[in-house]
Amino acid sequence: MHCTPATTPRSLVGWIVLALASLQAAYADTVSVAVAANFTAPMQKIAKAFETDTGHKAELSFGATGKFYAQITHGAPFQILLSADDTTPARLEKEGKAVASARFTYAIGTLVLWSAQPGYVDAQGAVLKTGDFKHLALANPKLAPYGLAAMQTMDKLGVTARLQPRFVQGENIAQTHQFVATGNAQLGFVALSQVMADGKITSGSAWQVPADLHEPIRQDAALLESGRGNAAATALMQYLKGDKAKAIIRSHGYSF
């Protein structure tokens, strides 16, 4: 007597895929992430890949690291901080608001002097001393590490006092980039990641500021106490260390 199987191989595979998807959905979680504004473009790509690969969802908020610190200390429900520096996560650890030993450097940022106008910024940054511009944009150095790096650069070059009357200060690096992109400032100090994609400057002209002109922009990830035990938070911290995330990060001009 010949028996026909109740489930064919093809339908069995389909059932298994559906079961795994349902299982993944059942264990999927959501993590709230405070992201430094300079890391907007790569993190948007990473979040999509993270959700596809793990089923977990990352809800992203972008802004200045200094403002995020103030919000976190006042109880904002973030579970991960992707900072634009390494001092803020360390401070949160000392204050008992971040999980000790979970912190790591997810990227090292690069500062650039950028103009939306092609050919305006030369390859040596001499335009800072010779250019006839009205406005120079930079992020608030008290809130944004890239703004602090810009101030350190100008101090090293000895041009701060002369250029200070021309400063247009953004609350964060995203607003600073917007000032330059719209022409409200002829040039400004922004993150390389904001003007680079796939290893190339996407528009305008730029001078990549030598690393010895400012303190290293080490960007650390912190698992906040509110994220302890959250499966998505734990998974995202690990995902950021993986090859797929690192490839995205490198393509936007960061190093490790």
**pLDDT tens for the 256 residues of the chain, in order:** 554 444 545 565 555 544 444 444 446 899 999 999 999 999 999 999 999 999 999 999 999 999 999 999 999 999 999 999 999 999 999 999 999 989 999 999 999 999 999 999 999 999 999 988 999 999 999 989 999 999 999 999 999 999 999 999 999 999 999 999 999 999 999 999 999 988 899 999 999 999 999 999 999 999 999 999 999 999 999 999 999 999 999 999 999 9
Write a three-state SS string for 56-73: CEEEEEEECHHHHHHHHH
Does domain 29-108+217-251 bear CATH number 3.40.50.970? no
* pTM of this structure: 0.85
Are 29-108+217-251 and 110-213 equal in CATH topology? yes
CATH topology of domain 110-213: D-Maltodextrin-Binding Protein; domain 2 (3.40.190)
Contact between residue 170 and residue 64 where contact means Cβ atoms under 8 Å apart? no
Q: Domain residue spans in the chain?
A: 29-108+217-251, 110-213
Give the sheet arrangement for strand 57-63, strand by strand. 57-63, 30-36, 80-82, 217-223, 104-109
The residues pairing with 63 across neighbouring beta strands, listed in sequence order, are: 36
